[in-house]
Structure 1
Amino acid sequence: MTLTTRITRLLDIEHPIIQGGMSWASSNAALALAVSQAGGLGVIAAGPMYPDALRAAIRDVREGTAHPFAVNVPLYNKRAAEFLDIVLEERVPIIIASQGGPKAHIARFKAAGVTWIQVTANPLHAKKAEEAGVDAVIAVGYEAGGHPGPEEVGTVVLVRSTVKAVSIPVIGGGGIADGAGIASMLALGASAALLGTRFLLTPESGLHQAYKDAVLQARVNDTAVVGKGRSPIRMVKNAFSAAYAAAETAGADNEALDALFAGSSLKLAALDGNVDQGKIEAGQSAGLIDTLEPAGQLVARLMRETEAAIAELRDAIN
């Protein structure tokens, strides 16, 4: 079975699988290269990278595959202007923009023939992004790791409402770890699925092994959203998340909560391996994953599972 969708046609990729742009996990060439070479869309996460490192990673991916790939740029980042320039200078075919609007930037990217995909928090934002001229939007539900939507809308409702709100292709994500999840996004009207946590549990992701082990051990109820009302993150529960929850319960003021939140970081867990005090960003789908698997092999398996799930649905209605 060949799954050709609006996204596979738009991006010129073989499979409707998008690897999430995850700080540190995909802030390198290895993961994006493996996913793109296997027929999905590999994504370099620019966020924590220095400009020279981003440029080098882009060149490494391009040298390793003729297939399309993308760079994720968080537009709030203090280095966002440099990242955007590098995307253009290095002729990256696809940009995935998050945490900021596209209006101020999109014209020069469209003029250069770059496909612009915008991460949106709700259907209204998706509609505004469409009006600004983006080519596709990503809708990621509350089950996802990292920074979930502040409105706490689950994946099924968010993806379906976004599909109904816009005419451009939609990519759905949040809580997806296997082919059944990918098939569910297609059933909701999305044209591809975004997988983050599943791809961070690969040998190619640039995370400390202790981080990967913590995610592998997590069950579906072992994540928590920490820092609601600030810059909330979904992470695997640990000593830091427990201390934060205890402080909230005890009625700590905003200053104390801010200090506690700022005392931990993703880098502390991702690079240093401190999985007690660092922020182990991961989604609820961690509970569906029990193995590390090479990214290229993973893409192939996900597609076999997706095809099997679709076949089962067909059999069920015949």
Structure 2
Amino acid sequence: MTRIETPVTRLLGTDLPIVQAGMSWASSCSALPLAVSNAGGLGVVAAGPMRLPDLSRVLAEMAAGTDQPWAVNLPLYRAGADEVIDLVLRHRPPVLIASQGGPRRYLARFHDAGTRCLHVVAGVEHARKAADAGVDALVVVGAEAGGHPPPAMVTTSVLVRAVARAVPSVPLIASGGIADGAGLAAMLALGAGAAQFGTRFLASAESSVHNAYKQAVVDAGVDATRTVGHGLGVIRVLDNNFTARMLGLEAAGAEEALRRKTFQASTLRDAALHGDVVEGKLEAGQSAGLVDEVLPAAEIVAKIVREYRAARAGLPPIT
């Protein structure tokens, strides 16, 4: 097995510094995370939209399907989060990736169970607080990311470097705008110990989203995403009818009630499960413009490694 050793791979026990993002619906299953973990990366189950019986089944499938490290992603704002935490603890996942809440809520219980705890942050101050709380590593999300980018819209390259300088003792995973091995090399050079790939694995054979959603990602250019929902919970999505309506309302200064009604009328579920790429919320990052085809997840991992090697070999030597 090929190995690229970093502080993150040493912490998590993976062969490669490649993390598949926990994406609602896309990795709310075992197929994609298992494929990534068995290929040497860290596969991540997205617990956010899952019913408890489904989550319990998928976690059991993960434990049975690999002897490699894997993770559960849990947004702490979801309904019944405490009940979800109890369920996840019973399955003792090797790694937990938590977001949208404070780490003190869960940290001691998961550490007692032997789980490595990673926390998602979108700014230097949050990174310092999470580090002080005792998390094992940080996932640093920049503005290019799909789904929920940071409110301040600081790019991944700047934010990763800033967090690396602010908390140099904590391993970092960079996330946002990374789709290939060159991006991985760049993030390692900035001080991260791994890169998280979301949109790239969204367009994988094992991803659970509708094929029309995957094709929309493949067809997108780097300028095909927009941020909408300002004041409501900003998301980065691909252009479609929903996006155009929201942009029009925001540009016109429409009242919050109308913007909220329009925002809530479309869902990620409609796009992911039913293939509504016209009216649904097509969450995707700017890296969609770097994704040219749908591939099996293991092949994506291998391709990233080849590209990483090529990127390193292409750097000019010091003379």
**Shorter-chain TM-score tier:** over 0.9
How far is 1:317 from its partner? 3.3
Of 55-64 and 153-162, deviating more is 55-64
**Counterpart-to-counterpart distance in 1, 2:252 and 2:287:** 30
- Distance in 2, matches of 1:94 and 1:87, equals 11
Q: Deviations over 1:241-260 (max 9, x none)?
A: 10111122223111111111
Counterpart CA distance in 2 for 1:218 and 1:211 is 11
Percent identity of equivalent pairs: 53
Contact 2:201 2:207 in 1 (8 A): yes
Q: How does 1:1-318 map to 2 (within 5 A)?
A: 2-166=3-167, 167-313=169-315, 315-318=316-319
d(CA) in 2 for partners of 1:74 and 1:6? 25
Alpha-carbon separation, structure 2, partners of 1:266 and 1:249: 23
Counterpart-to-counterpart distance in 2, 1:94 and 1:274 = 33
Q: CA RMSD in A?
A: 1.0
* Cα distance per residue 1:111-163 (max 9 Å; x no partner): 11110000011011011001111000010110010000001100111010011
Q: Distance in 1 between matches of 2:251 and 2:109?
A: 49
Q: What SS does the corresponding residue of 2:159 show, helix, strand or coil? A: helix
- The residue matched to 1:271 in structure 2 has which SS? helix
TM-fit CA distance, 1:307 = 1.6
Residue 78 of structure 1: how far off its partner (Å) = 0.8
The CA deviation string for residues 50-93 of structure 1, in whole angstroms up to 9 with x for no partner, is 11111111111221111010000000111311221122101111
Q: State the 1:311 CA deviation.
A: 1.8
Alpha-carbon separation, structure 1, partners of 2:161 and 2:230: 25
CA–CA distance in structure 2, aligned partners of residues 76 and 307 of structure 1: 39
Shift of 1:316: 4.1
Give the SS at the match of 2:11.
Answer: helix
Contact preservation (8 Å) 2:177, 2:286: yes
Q: Deviations over 1:169-209 (max 9, x none)?
A: 01001100000000000000100000000000001000011
- Rounded to whole Å, the distance in 1 between the matches of 2:313 and 2:81 is 43
- The unaligned stretches of length 5 or more in structure 2 are none
Of residues 250-259 and 169-178 in structure 1, the stretch that sits farther from structure 2 once superposed is 250-259
User: How many Å separate the matches in 1 of 2:248 and 2:134?
Assistant: 45
SS at match of 2:25: coil
How far apart, CA to CA, are the structure 1 residues paired with 2:227 and 2:126? 22
> TM-score, normalising length from structure 1?
0.98
Normalising by structure 2, report the TM-score: 0.97
User: For the residues of structure 2 that align with 1:284 and 1:296, how far apart are their CA atoms?
Assistant: 22
**Letter of the 2:212 counterpart:** A
2:142, 2:149 within 8 Å by CA — same for their partners in 1?
Answer: yes
- Contact 2:144–2:286 at 8 Å: present in 1 too? yes
- CA–CA distance in structure 2, aligned partners of residues 256 and 131 of structure 1: 41
Alignment partner of 2:22: what SS?
coil
Q: Match of 2:289, SS?
A: helix
Structure 2: which amino acid aligns with 1:95? Answer: L
Q: Distance in 2 between matches of 1:272 and 1:30?
A: 19
Q: Residue 279 of structure 2 aligns to a residue in which SS? A: coil
Supply the AA of the counterpart residue of 2:158. Answer: V
Moved over 6 A (4+): none
State the one-letter code of the partner of 1:234: R
User: How many residues end up aligned between the 2 structures?
Assistant: 317
The separation in 2 between residues aligned to 1:57 and 1:275, in whole angstroms, is 27
Q: Which structure 1 segments of 5+ residues have no match?
A: none
Could you tell me whether the CA contact under 8 Å between 2:179 and 2:287 is conserved in 1? yes
Which secondary structure state, in structure 1, belongs to the residue aligned with residue 314 of structure 2? helix
The alignment partner of 1:317 has SS state of coil
Please tell me the residue identity of whatever aligns with 1:256.
Answer: L
The AA in structure 2 aligned to 1:294 is P
- State the secondary structure of the residue aligned to 2:104: coil
Deviation at 1:109, TM superposition (A): 1.1
Please list the CA deviations of residues 238-285 of structure 1 after superposition, one character each: whole Å capped at 9, or x if unmatched.
001101111222231111111110111100111111111100000000
Residues of 2 paired with 1:268 and 1:74: CA distance? Answer: 20
